[in-house]
Chains A and B, each alone.
Chain A
């Protein structure tokens, strides 16, 4: 981040790209290292490395090993997966809708999963069922949005966005009604709707991984088509891009990745909206760099945000991303303007 800030007048120099990519990779690595090393319990670096070694080789865990290997590392990996998923989806949505304000929750995934989680929480079902209902309703919400937005075989962007807003509002209202019914569990629901990485273990990570890999991977493959689409719908069509199908595949792939990201950790705001813009400002708008670099930066940022959440009274990663993301983004925009 510092390196990028001190880099004068370098919007997207061709030579600077590998350097900056390396910078982002380093940023992600440092996030993983610090995220695993730091926390409310102090574990010396040597012990952290030992714990990782014993974890990987399957030896018996002793002392702080459990904290490092079974609590912190899966939490960090979950942060990387979720941050990367949200950022890639945000970038893809902004590209496919040609709308800078698009974010992964545009089509009602967040309100769907929040409703699903709330149903499970208020009904008092076991925690393992929360992500299941969240996932189901997230996918149901997107299906509803697509059905509402359809015009014959087309999905016009404006109708999709409007349908997403409507579906989101209806589901949010239902969630609120449920929260009022089960007041004593309101705190748990609130925690979910603010996004929280607490209690992420290896099984959760393994559950989210296929969603992130499938959805995110599909989006990365669409990067070139998304680039063509930026020339305008007509141009893209005449260049042989199946625009309707591209839109549909993007929406489905992004919904799969977002639903997986949201299922366990809830609705983490701002990351999916902001990260692609930061990458665009630093590296230019081409989707073939935008999407993978967004994944790197998003993963790193979310791990850092969660580290702050764990070690300060800010308490939840979603609060951190929103509180710090907004001002940071404004600062970045102002800097661009003044240059």
Chain B
């Protein structure tokens, strides 16, 4: 335990604010839209408009506080029974207000905070975008809903689970150069994006340099030139049909792997299932480690 904790500390540092167990209300914080928000009392009726937020709340024993979720929240099982409030771009504001929430957690995208704030509802925008933010925002959510101790325990658990995968992948002799496609336009992921960090931790060398940004649109000829040994996120048939791609090493050796839907969902969600997503990705890249 102690050793895994040390490795966890290496992978990303975590600021432990005082050892207070309970949140004192009213709580004032700056949210991810840069607004200063005051949460008057412990929220009892929460609407979450982001799947990763929904998962985090449930992972820190605040699931029973949820009275509504967005259309894409589908995990854990029990949230599927909750009333659906629409999606990020077509939220059902009336349905949200009808639930009489004392807190609505939104993302920094979409335009929910305006109408909801006008309706007198407390709105906090929380959305982790980098790897480190997955942990810091978990702690923030813990503070907001008075589950600080649980949030801290969750972060510790996540980091030790991640460290367990990293111990396997870190000393792998051959780390394949990899291209991970998140969208067939094609878009890929840079090494500093949170998915990019997972790709590296899973024991692959990303062909996308940091200079291209976090979610770059890639010129197809760049991929052919980089000649990755592994292609993730495309099926072999699609990849083979693309002009010039048959010359790529990954296609010659048959290392073109499409990512299963459930793993894809986990990878795209900066929430408590991050270690599972990493494990799934590592299994695709280094099946030999998990025999």
**A residues neighboring B (CB under 8 Å):** 39-41, 61, 64, 66-67, 70-72, 74, 126-128, 180, 183, 185, 187-188, 191, 196, 198-202, 310, 315-316
Contacts and interface: CB of A to CB of B under 8 A. Distances in A.
Nearest to A126: B238
A126 B240 CA distance: 12
B224 A71 contact: yes
B9 to A, nearest CB: 35
Contacts of B184: 127, 188
B219 interface: yes
A40 B185 contact: no
A67 B241 contact: no
B23 to A, nearest CB: 33
B197 to A, nearest CB: 21
A127 B244 contact: no
B52 to A, nearest CB: 14
A185 B264 CA distance: 13
A198 B183 CA distance: 13
A71 B221 contact: yes
Contacts of B244: 66-67, 70-71, 201
A199 B90 contact: no
Interface string B234-278: 000110011110010000000000000000000000000000000
A315 B217 contact: yes
Interface of B: 72, 87-90, 183-187, 217, 219-222, 224-225, 237-238, 241-244, 247
Given A41-B225, A71-B244, A72-B221, 17 more contacts: A39-B219, A66-B224, A66-B247, A67-B221, A70-B247, A126-B237, A127-B184, A127-B241, A128-B241, A187-B185, A188-B184, A191-B185, A198-B219, A199-B220, A201-B243, A201-B244, A316-B217
Contacts of A127: 184, 238, 241
Contacts of B186: 198-199
A180 B222 contact: no
Contacts of B89: 180, 183
Nearest to B227: A66
Nearest to A65: B247
A75 B136 CA distance: 45
Nearest to B237: A126
Nearest to A190: B185
Query: Interface centre among A61, A71, A196, A315, by most B CB within 10 Å?
Result: A71
A150 B237 CA distance: 45
Query: Interface centre among B87, B183, B237, by most A CB within 10 Å?
Result: B183
B238 A200 contact: no
A188 B89 CA distance: 17
Contact of B220 (A71, A185, A188, A315): A71
Nearest to B186: A198
A319 to B, nearest CB: 11
Given A183-B88, A198-B186, A310 B243 contact: no
B221 A40 contact: yes
B3 to A, nearest CB: 39
Query: Interface centre among B183, B224, B225, B237, by most A CB within 10 Å?
Result: B225
Contacts of A198: 185-186, 219-220
Contacts of A128: 241
A180 B91 CA distance: 11
A315 to B, nearest CB: 5
Contacts of A185: 183
Contacts of A40: 219, 221-222, 225
A64 B225 contact: yes
A327 B261 CA distance: 45
Contacts of B72: 183
A3 B131 CA distance: 54
Given A126-B238, A183-B88, A187-B185, A74 B219 contact: no
25 contacts: A39-B221, A40-B222, A40-B225, A64-B225, A66-B224, A70-B243, A70-B247, A71-B220, A71-B221, A72-B221, A126-B237, A180-B89, A183-B72, A187-B183, A187-B185, A188-B184, A188-B185, A198-B185, A198-B186, A198-B220, A199-B220, A199-B242, A201-B243, A201-B244, A315-B217
